[in-house]
Amino acid sequence: MQAIDRKLLRDFQRLWLQAVAIALVLACGVAVLLTSVGMYKALSETQDAYYERNRFADVFAQTNRAPVSLLPEIARIDGVLSIEARITGAAILDIPGRTRTAVGHILSYPETADPVLNVPLLVSGRFPDPEDTDEVVVNAPFAEANGFDLGDSFSANLRGRKRQLVVVGTVLSPEFVYTIGPGALMPDNAGFGIIWMSTRAAAAAFDMTGAFNDISLALATGTRAEPAIERLDTLLEPYGGLGAYDRADQTSHAFLDAQLNELKGMAMVLPPIFFGIAGFLVSMVMSRIVALERSEIGLLKAIGYSNTEICLHYLMLAGLIAVVGVAVGWIAGTFLANALARQYAEFFDFPYVIFRVSYWVYAAAGLAGLATTSLGALQAALKAANLAPAIAMQPPAPPRFKHSLIDEMMARLRLTQSTVMILRSLLRWPLRSLLTSLGLALAVASVIAATFINDALDEIVDLAFHQTNRQDAMLLFAEDVPEAALEDARNLPGVLQAESQQYQAAILRRGHLSKRVAVEARRPGNDLSRVLDADRQVLNVPPGGIVLSERLADHLDVLPSDSIEVEFLTGRRETIEVRVSQVVEQYFGLGAYMDFEFMNALFRQAPRISTVNVTLDSQQTGALHAAIKAVPEVSGIIEMNENLRSFQDTVEQNVVVMNSIYITVAVLITIGVTYNAARIQLSERARELASLRILGFGRGEVSYILMGEMMLLALIAQPFGWLIGTGIAQLMTQAFTSDLYAIPLVLRPATFTTATIIVLSAALASVLIVRRRLDRLDLVSVMKTRE
C-alpha cells in the first residue's frame, strides 16, 4: 500500500463523523429511489401477472337486458379474442350478528366451465354447484371482515325475495383489486361484498333467463379499443346499453393506476433533491480539506506523485463516502420497498406480491450516488491537482476585505464584537453562506411537503362531508323510481329529513375531447347534498345549463359560457347541447350537475329519482336497517359517518408513514448540513477563536460566535424553505390529482411553524455537538499552527 493510500484511509477515519452525516443524506436519496421504484415495479409487475394469469378483460359494458343470441355477433367484432357475458345485480344482505345493512354485488358463475375472462382465484373451498342455487362464493376480504367460515350462511333480498345463501368458497378477482361500493369513497369490506352464484340462480333472481346484462371483451395485442367500443355500443344500444369503456375507466384499475402514477412521480421528484444536497456537502468538506492540506499536497508532489494521482486521491475520498451512503441506502431501500409493497398489495387485495427490484435499479442508484459525490468533489480535487509544489508548500495569502457601508452600519448600531464577527463571516463568504442556507431550506421544505397533507385532508373532509354532503345516509335504488318513493323514505324509522337526487349516465364531449360521467340532478334549495361555488355559497343550477367540477372542465378544456354536447346513455339516448353555467371545486370524482326539472323534461318523463339523502335519529338506526332489509327497491345504504371513518382511518395510516419518512429525512438533511458547516467553521477559525480566549473572552462568548453564525444561517433559511416547500407541495397536488380524487393545496401557518421548529431544533442539536469540540480546544497547539 502506497503512502497516499494510507493517507486516504487515515483521512476517512479522521472525518468519519462528517462522512457519516453526508452518507446518511446520500442514503436517503438512494433509499427513496429504491423504495419508490421498488414499490412501483412490485405493484406493476404483480398487476401485470395477476391480470394476465386471470385474464382481466380490456373492454367492459353493461346493458339492461340483452339476449344471449347477440353474443356470436359481438364475438365477431374486429380484434376481439374472447368474450364473457354475465348476469349482475345488487342485493341487500342480512348478515348474522351485524345490525347494519350490507350490500352485495351479485355476479353469475358459469355452470359448465370456468370463466373465460376475469377469472376468480380460489382462496378456500370450492366454486358453487350448478345444481344448488343457494351456494355462493364471496370475495375473501368480505368473508374475513364478517368472520365467515365455509358453510356459514346469510340472507339476501333478491328483488323482493329473501334467499338464504351458503358460503362454499372465498376468492379474489382481478376485477376487484380495489373493492369499493356504489357511492362510497373508500372500501368497506364488512359492508360491501362481491358474491358469485351459479348462472341458473342469478338468472332466476334477476329475470335474466336467456339473457345477460354485463359483458367483457379481451382484445388482441395492438388492437385499439375505440373501434371495438363503438361497435359494441352499436350492438347493445337497442337493449339499453350504458356505454362501453376500457380499462382506464374500470373503477378498480383506475384506483390502482392512480397509485402507481403517484409512486412514479415520487421516484422522479425526491431523489434528485437528496443527491443534490449530498453533492453540496461533499463540495464543502472537500474544499476545506484541500485548503487545510496545502502543505501535504505540495509534499506529495515533491516526492513524485502526479497531478492525476492527487486528483484521484481526493475523488476516492469522496468515493468512500459514497460507498457508505449507497450501501446504507441499498439496505434501507430494499427493506422499505419490500415492506411497503406488501402493505400496498394487502390494501389492494392482491393474492400475491412479485417483489423483484432489478439489478439496474441498484446500479442506477449506486452510480447516481457516486456521480453526485464525484461532481461535488471535482472542483476541490482539480484545485489540489493544479497546485504547484512551491506554492502549495506556502500558506495561502490572507483574504483582502474592504471597509464597506455595512461595516459603517454595524458600527452605528453598536453591535457587540462577537455579533460583528458573525455578520462579517456571512457577508465575506456569501456563496458558502447561501449554499448552507439552501441546504437547510430544503430540510424545511421536506417537512412542509409532508405536513401540508394534514391540512389538505382537513379541507377535503370539511368540504366533502360537512359542507357539500350534509346527509347522514344515502338510500340507493336498483333502478330509478317515481318521486313518490320519497314520501315512503320519509316514513322509514328514524328518518327526520329526506331529499331526492337523480343520476343519469352520459358522455360529455367538446370537439375531440370526451368523458363518461354520471350527470346529477337535484331540486333547487336542497339542503342535504349541495353544490357550492367558489365563495362556498349554495349554487342552484339554472335550467338549460350544466355545472362542471374543475377537473372535468379542465379535461374537456371548457370555461364558463362554453357549450358542450351531452350524450345520455339511458332513456331515449338523445344528445343535446348545453352551456356550461359555472365551474366548481370538488375533491372526489368528476361532477356534472343539472336542474332536476330540466333533466326530467329532457327524458320526457314524470320526475324519477335514483337516491334519497336522509338525516337520521341516531337512536333508531337499528330499526331503520331492519326496515330497509325488507324493501325490495332499495339496493343499498351508505352511511356518511362510516364513509368518513373509513376515509380517515385509511389516509391516517398513509399520512403517518409519509410524515415519519419526510421528517426523518429533514432531520438527516439538517444534521448533515449543520454539522459539516459547523465543523468547517471550527477548523477554519480555530486560531481566531483561540486568540479570543487568550484575550479574555469566555467560553460562552466564543461559543456564541460559532453557534450564532450557524443558527443565523438556519433562520435565514426559513423563508427560502417556506417558498421551496410551497412549490414542492404544489407539485405534489398536481402529481396526485386524478379523475378519482384531488388534493387541494392548503398551507396554514402551523405547517410552516412545525417545519421551522423541527429544523431549528435539529440544527441546534448539531451545533451543540460541535461546540463540545470547541470546549476541548488546546489553545497552545492551536496557536502554533500556521495561518
pLDDT tens digits, residue range 693-736? 776 776 777 778 778 888 888 899 999 999 988 988 887 787 66
Q: Is 275 exposed, middle or buried (0-12, 13-18, 19+ CB in 10 A)?
A: buried
> Taking each helix axis from N to C terminus, what angle separates 640-694 and 699-735, rounded to the nearest 10 degrees?
150
The owner of cell 492551536 is: 782
Instruction: Give the per-residue pLDDT at 403.
Output: 67
Report CA 164 to chain centroid distance, whole Å.
Answer: 41
> pLDDT tens digit string along 352-364?
888 777 788 888 8
Is residue 784 pLDDT above 60, yes or no? Answer: no
* Beta-sheet pairing, 495-510 with 102-109: unpaired
Residue 202 identity (one-letter amino acid): A
Instruction: Give the per-residue pLDDT at 580.
Output: 92
- Calculate what percentage of the chain has a pLDDT beyond 90: 20
The pTM score is: 0.76
Nearest Cα to Cα of residue 768 among 698, 689, 704: 704
Is residue 445 pLDDT above 60, yes or no? Answer: yes
Is residue 177 pLDDT above 80, yes or no? Answer: yes
Q: Which domains does the chain have, with CATH numbers?
A: 1-64+248-397 (no CATH), 88-204 (no CATH), 406-470+641-787 (no CATH), 495-616 (2.40.40)
C-alpha distances in Å from residue 122, one per residue of 54, 172, 173, 724:
11, 7, 9, 50
Residue 230 identity (one-letter amino acid): E
Q: What gap in Å lies between CA 247 and CA 245, rounded to an integer?
A: 7
Is residue 747 pLDDT above 70, yes or no? Answer: yes
The owner of cell 433562520 is: 715
- 620 DSSP assignment: G
The helix or strand, by DSSP H or E, that contains position 206, with its residue range, turns out to be: helix 199-206
Long-range contacts of 291-297 (CB under 8 A, 24+ apart): 291/396, 291/684, 292/683, 293/384, 294/387, 294/392, 294/393, 294/394, 294/395, 294/396, 295/392, 295/393, 296/7, 297/384, 297/387, 297/392
Q: What gap in Å lies between CA 80 and CA 221, rounded to an integer?
A: 10
| Residue pair 721/441 in contact by the 8 Å Cβ criterion | yes
3-state secondary structure of 589: coil
Q: Is 766 exposed, middle or buried (0-12, 13-18, 19+ CB in 10 A)?
A: buried
Q: What gap in Å lies between CA 576 and CA 574, rounded to an integer?
A: 7
The owner of cell 460562552 is: 700
Mean pLDDT of 544-568: 90
| Residue pair 442/278 in contact by the 8 Å Cβ criterion | no
Nearest Cα to Cα of residue 630 among 182, 92, 138: 92
Is residue 486 pLDDT above 80, yes or no? Answer: yes
| Residue pair 114/203 in contact by the 8 Å Cβ criterion | no
Confidence bin at 196 (pLDDT 50/70/90): very high
Instruction: Give the per-residue pLDDT at 232.
Output: 92
Judged by average pLDDT, the poorest of 271-275, 434-438, 748-752 is: 271-275
List of residues 6+ apart from 163 with CB closer than 8 A: 134, 155, 156, 205
3-state secondary structure of 117: coil
CB neighbours (10 Å) of residue 156? 24
Instruction: Give the per-residue pLDDT at 197.
Output: 93
Q: Which residue has the higher pLDDT, 41 or 556?
A: 556
- Calculate what percentage of the chain has a pLDDT beyond 70: 92
Mean pLDDT of 640-662: 72
> pLDDT tens digit string along 14-66?
777 777 877 887 887 888 888 878 778 888 888 899 999 999 999 999 998 99
* Beta-sheet pairing, 192-198 with 102-109: parallel
Is residue 579 pLDDT above 90, yes or no? Answer: yes
CB neighbours (10 Å) of residue 196? 23
> pLDDT tens digit string along 584-627?
888 877 889 999 999 988 888 888 998 999 998 888 888 888 88
Is residue 168 pLDDT above 60, yes or no? Answer: yes
The owner of cell 344515502 is: 474
- Polymer length of the chain: 787
Mean pLDDT of 461-488: 86
Q: Which residue has the higher pLDDT, 73 or 588?
A: 73
> pLDDT tens digit string along 81-92?
999 999 998 888
Instruction: Give the per-residue pLDDT at 398.
Output: 63
Cell of 88: 349482475
Instruction: Give the per-residue pLDDT at 787.
Output: 47
Cell of 726: 410551497
Instruction: Give the per-residue pLDDT at 431.
Output: 76
Count helices and strands (H / E) in the chain. Answer: 22, 20
Instruction: For residue 626, list its beta bridge partners.
Output: none
> Taking each helix axis from N to C terminus, what angle separates 16-53 and 251-292, rounded to the nearest 10 degrees?
160
Instruction: Give the per-residue pLDDT at 401.
Output: 61
